[in-house]
Structure 1
Amino acid sequence: MSMDLFFWIIAFLINLALMASTFYQIVILTDLEADYINIYDSATSINRIILPEFIVQGVFCASFLLTWHWFMFLITVPVTCYHVMLFLKRQHLFDVTEAFRFLNAEKKFRLIKLGDTTSGPWTGN
């Protein structure tokens, strides 16, 4: 099995994990909006997976750069840059006190992020 094929299989699995994480966050936010879950539990559930998701997204983007897959790197770099910006501003965690004020914006961001991750490794280079 060639290394390129192995890389694309790994990238596909990582992309599926990122999509599942983002979809899980959307479901949690929708449950919060419909009052099926309390604010503390939703914030705890989302904040637990935020940092690992950011790290995986950064490694995913860097792996495309290091393997010279420029098109896929350019697709993943906006979300990675946005994650870095949020982390540096310390706005990456879901705040319990501001949950309902930013609920629609958080859902929109995750829907956009879900759309970006669906253009994953199967689009080719």
Structure 2
Amino acid sequence: MGSLYAWLLNFFLLISVIGIIAFQLMFLMDLEFDYTNPYDLAYRMNLVIFPEYFAQGLLCLTFLFKGQWFFFLLSLPYLYNNIRLQLQRRHLVDVTEIYNELNREKQQRLFKLGFLSLAFLFVWTIEEELE
């Protein structure tokens, strides 16, 4: 039964992080097509940065405590990137520089989305094989 709870926690954490990244990508595309202004974009994206970091860190910890070493090691580079961005104070979106960094921000989020989608597929298939 504990394995089921751990799987559900991993599932919902992965879905929440994927949703946050998709939300951020949606706002970046809205800015690119000039549907929103940079102030709204920066405010809304900066609100979801810390929940994304928290959910991804918690996901990494659940992999560690559950003993899924492959997934833990797979999620460490993403966690390292989040910590590095936080320490360099580049984690928040700057209103004045958003147009200059738009392509980099989109590519970063697309990479995160692809990575999390692969992690979701790996977790889904491996958990089904374990039971």
**TM-score band, normalised by shorter chain:** over 0.9
* Residue in 2 that maps onto 1:46: 45
**In 2: Cα distance, 1:11 partner to 1:17 partner:** 10
In structure 1, what is the Cα distance between the partners aligned to 2:37 and 2:14? 29
- Displacement after TM superposition at 1:71 (Å): 1.1
Percent of residue pairs identical: 39
Question: Structure 2: which amino acid aligns with 1:70?
Answer: W
Residue by residue over 1:27-54, the C-alpha shift from the partner in whole angstroms, topping out at 9 and shown as x without a partner, is 0000001100000000001000001111
8 A Cα contact 2:42 2:94, kept in partner:
yes
- How far, CA to CA, are the matches of 2:125 and 2:75 in structure 1? 12
- For 2:125 and 2:42, locate their aligned partners in 1 and report how far apart those are by CA, in whole Å: 34
2:13 maps to 14
Contact 1:75 1:116 (8 Å CA) reproduced: no
Task: Give the whole-Å Cα distance in 2 for the aligned partners of 1:77 and 1:94.
Answer: 23
Q: Which has the higher helix share?
A: 2
Query: Residues 49-92 of structure 1, C-alpha deviation per residue, up to 9 Å, x if partnerless?
Result: 00111111111111211221111112211111100000011110
* 1:123, distance to aligned residue in structure 2 (A): 3.8
Which is bigger in relative contact order (C-alpha 8 A, separation at least 6)? Answer: 1
- 1:22-61 alignment, distance < 5 Å: 22-61=21-60
CA-atom RMSD in angstroms: 1.1
Aligned residues: 124
* Unmatched 5+ stretches in structure 2: none
Q: Does the alignment pair 1:64 with 2:63?
A: yes
Secondary structure in 2 matching 1:100: coil
State the 4+ residue runs in structure 1 displaced beyond 6 angstroms.
Answer: none
TM-score normalised over the length of structure 2: 0.91
User: CA–CA distance in 2 between the matches of 1:74 and 1:47?
Assistant: 28
In 2, Cα distance between equivalents of 1:75 and 1:103:
27
